Amino acid sequence: MNGRRLLVAIGLLVLGAVGVFLVVTGGDDPAPGGNASVPSTPGTGRPTSTLPLEDTSLAAVEELSGLAVPDSATDVLTAKLDNDRQLDLTFVMPADAEADFLTGSGLPPLTPDNRVVLHSSPLWKLNPGVPIRGVADVRDGVNRAVELVPEPDGRVRARITLQAV
């Protein structure tokens, strides 16, 4: 009887050690919905490619991303993240400029309640409980994730992430 208990205890210790090892080391699986063919930093699943972000002026960001930010946009802010692998962009535009922004940027139709920006940013100025519409695509080697949310004054805020493919 004692031999059986000893074997069970050893088995549990081995399984526990394997479990701890797997939790600590993680895995090299890409993020959900990720692309396994994109080069990544071992063990992180993050892309190793970087965006050319020497110039983060609005004109340079538009050229890089293919976005057509309306001339009427205000409160334009950018933030470089993750060693130039990502750029966050936000701006506010009049509601009647939204269609031109989407068409001029070549974005697919937005989907209601589709959250495509999966991280927080001090740029977002989050408004909990407001409707959100989002879409993501890839253009010229740049992953573009765009969310639009209404502002209290009737304008529309764009929250955008650009990532290297």
Question: Could you give the CA distance from residue 68 to residue 71 in angstroms, rounded to a whole number?
Answer: 9
Question: Could you give the CA distance from residue 150 to residue 62 in angstroms, rounded to a whole number?
Answer: 22
Q: What is the mean pLDDT of residues 18-35?
A: 46
Q: What is the mean pLDDT of residues 100-126?
A: 82
Percent above pLDDT 90 for the chain: 40
Given this model, what pLDDT does residue 8 score?
Answer: 63
Q: Which of 66-70, 85-89, 116-120, 121-125 has the highest mean pLDDT?
A: 66-70
Is residue 48 very low, low, confident or very high in pLDDT (cuts 50, 70, 90)? low
Q: What is the mean pLDDT of residues 60-82?
A: 90
**In the predicted model, is pLDDT for residue 149 greater than 90?**
yes
Question: Could you give the CA distance from residue 61 to residue 154 in angstroms, rounded to a whole number?
Answer: 26
One-letter amino acid at 3 equals: G
- 73, 91 in Cβ contact below 8 A? yes
CA atoms within 13 A on the CB side of 55: 9
**In the predicted model, is pLDDT for residue 163 greater than 70?**
yes
**In the predicted model, is pLDDT for residue 37 greater than 70?**
no
Q: What is the mean pLDDT of residues 68-80?
A: 92
**In the predicted model, is pLDDT for residue 33 greater than 50?**
no
